[in-house]
Amino acid sequence: MSPLPKRALLAITSYHGPFYPNGDNTGLYYTEALHPYTVLTAAGFQVDLASETGEYGIDPHSVTKTALTDADALVYNDKQNDFNQKLAQIKKASDLDPTAYGLFFASAGHGTLFDYPKAKGLISIAESVWARGGVVSAVCHAPAILPHIKDQATGKSIINGRTVTGFTDKGEVELNLMDKIKELGLVPITQGAVQAGATYKEPEGAFDVFTVVDGRLVTGANPPSAHATAVKAVEAFDKL
């Protein structure tokens, strides 16, 4: 049994500004936080939600009828639901004690490409979790934070020499977003991982459920993988 606190920090992107070619804002991909929250709480974790600035916004593309299952929609439309209540009272990362957490899970949405690489508060929590032997996990676009989380023992990214996954380039192309990402000077997940010295693996289909576990590092490829990634993160924690 792990000596670490059975408490998880669920990171949320604070960026909720314009991104899509039609002018729509991006932000949090709703189920990429909801599903991990559900898994973690069911496994007995206390879960705090935090963003870099203490603000958030939901990507409208993540809460359409096609993006949400009926069960997801019931939760989304219930403002008294525990997850929605915690989201509404989201914390600012720098206000938290990093040593309170044994597991760091980064949720996603394209907003993470904007703020995660320079989210010092979230990064410091993840670095503390890693340094104390805890689990760091990220899904879809959230691995944008991983190259910037340093291993205190090596001074290099925690993904250096490890294997990860995340949202694929072909997925960006399928969504007609790769040109926009390049136009804005954002770093695709694949590029960031390789530049940090990681081996990047991807699913056959951009939206197939796909996870990679490399010791205490657990990553997932896309929105459908959020649940499975959290399950694998809990399993990794239970092995500590």
Residues with catalytic function: 140-141, 172
At residue 44, what is the residue type?
Answer: G
The answer to whether 134 and 108 have CB atoms below 8 angstroms apart is no
How far is it, in rounded angstroms, from Cα 68 to Cα 71?
Answer: 8
Beta strand pairing call for 91-92 and 7-11: unpaired
CB within 8 Å of 114: residues ≥ 6 apart: 13, 15, 17, 19, 186
Task: Give per-residue burial for 114-134: e unless 16+ CB within 10 Å, then b.
Answer: bbbbebebbbbbbbbbbeeeb
| Residue 44 Rama label (left phi>0; alpha psi -120 to 50; beta) | left
Q: Which helix (H) or strand (E) holds 217?
A: strand 217-220
Beta strand pairing call for 46-51 and 7-11: parallel
